[in-house]
Amino acid sequence: MWGVIALLLFGLALMAMAAVGALVLLVEWMDSRRAVRWCHTMGRHCGRSSCEPCAIAARSAEAAAKVGARPVLVVPVMLPWPPPIPGAFTWAT
């Protein structure tokens, strides 16, 4: 009897953790869908502070145009997970 109750409680705890994890993933996905970044002419955005075009493009749209950056919508891809390289699935539009 106690084993069944313990198993039920364990299952409920797992479902609660899965629900919280799903909500976190949903919020991250919604955040990334709204993200529009300025990218290099090659269509990639490294985002490093040591990268001069990225640092300039992050200031404003006018500065981004001066360094030849263009707007890119970041589309998250869930497979394969986790992505091996940050920004590997960024598509230029």
pTM of the model: 0.36
Full 3-state SS string of the chain: CHHHHHHHHHHHHHHHHHHHHHHHHHHHHHHHHHCEEEECCCCCCCCCCCCHHHHHHCCCHHHHHHCCCEEEECCCCCCCCCCCCCCCCCCCC
Q: Which residue has the higher pLDDT, 25 or 87?
A: 25
Q: Tens digits of per-residue pLDDT, 56-81?
A: 666 776 776 676 666 555 555 554 45
